[in-house]
Amino acid sequence: MRNATTRRLATAALAGAVATALFSLPATADRLAATAAFAAAAQEFDVPRDLVVAVGHAESRLDMHGGKPSQDNGYGLMHLVSNPSRHTLEQAASVTGASTNALKNDVTTNIRGGAAARRALADEHGLGTADRDRLDAWYPVVAAYGGAFVPQTKRLYADAVYDLLESGVSAVAPTGERITVAPRSVTPERGTLATTSTTAAPDYPGAIWNPASTANYAPGRTASISTVVHVTQGSYAGTISWFQNPDAQVSAHYVLRSADGEVTQMVADADTAWHARSANPSSLGIEHEGFVDDPAWFTDAMYRSSAAVTTWLCDTYGLAKTRDVIVGHSEVPGNDHTDPGPNWDWDYYMSLVTA
């Protein structure tokens, strides 16, 4: 079915002369290139334009991040992924005829690829012509596109997109233009995901328990002597999904959401998450949704929530609330990561921890 879908979409793409003309414009040549790309991609692949924008905003806040990959090797504002278990980048290349390099680095090509990948998935889910015109009917497709392994994470990903459709979107694209989605009432058709529920975490009070794959951490640990602050280089739901993928070989104890500071625990404090190489046996890892090069992800809600987690960990395990104990990933010996980066406000964060 997937090969048939790919051939059908490729034929439609070649027939779209108007769309081809629009996508041939380099982003730097047209200040409305992204606006045109979203509209053309929606028309070419019969995917609601506002849904394409909302998915892009949920994944990247419409940022290309200089062609650099996310934690799970996703590229561009539409987060086209190439890893052992997900191949939306390669799928987009097959459907559109664009090179993977162009899909990674060119704004308009990346948008087109994102729409193509979603339409291919819609076909796999049997979403017919009439249903493709209804935003609420796309919910199972969006949930599947996130690549999650468990129902709770599938719903978390799709709910984030539909929350954006309900609240509206206003973001600046890499081309400099403002892309908007008007707020609307949504009633997503969740299907079997409507009955999913959350479980309380075993350690930090108020956290949601959504465990990492057992292939991505080790049972037991030595005594904790530090906490390590990370930035996910990806979305909240996408990071949780990646830690549940047994191919990832990475995890953290906690993941925090940018918008409201929601806390998900993925590895028990008594176990060893794989997040900081040499410091794994003796540290607790806290991931923060966002990208190191974009301070807009570091909201006050997330700072305060993270500080509350760190304060609780220090109080519970007898850790000093000092910068030699509460460290960034980049400060751990033997690591080559740069997070949380220069945009992380350590003075503010520590003032909250020690208040």
Chain-centroid distance, C-alpha 108: 20
Q: Residue 18 pLDDT > 60, yes or no?
A: no
CA–CA separation, 233 vs 247, rounded Å?
18
More confident residue, 283 or 10: 283
What does the pLDDT look like over 43-80, one tens digit per residue? 999 999 999 999 999 999 999 999 999 999 999 999 99
Asked whether residue 41 carries a pLDDT value surpassing 50, the answer given is yes
What's the mean per-residue pLDDT of the chain? 91
pLDDT at 335 over 90: no
Does the structure show a pLDDT above 70 at 26?
no
Every domain of the chain with CATH number 3.40.80.10 lies at 199-353
Global confidence as pTM: 0.86
CATH architecture of the domain with range 199-353? 3-Layer(aba) Sandwich (3.40)
pLDDT band at 10 (very low <50, low <70, confident <90, very high): very low
Q: What is the CATH number of domain 2-195?
A: 1.10.530
* Res 155: pLDDT: 96
Domain with CATH 1.10.530 in the chain: 2-195
Query: How far apart are alpha carbons 52 and 69 in whole angstroms?
Result: 20
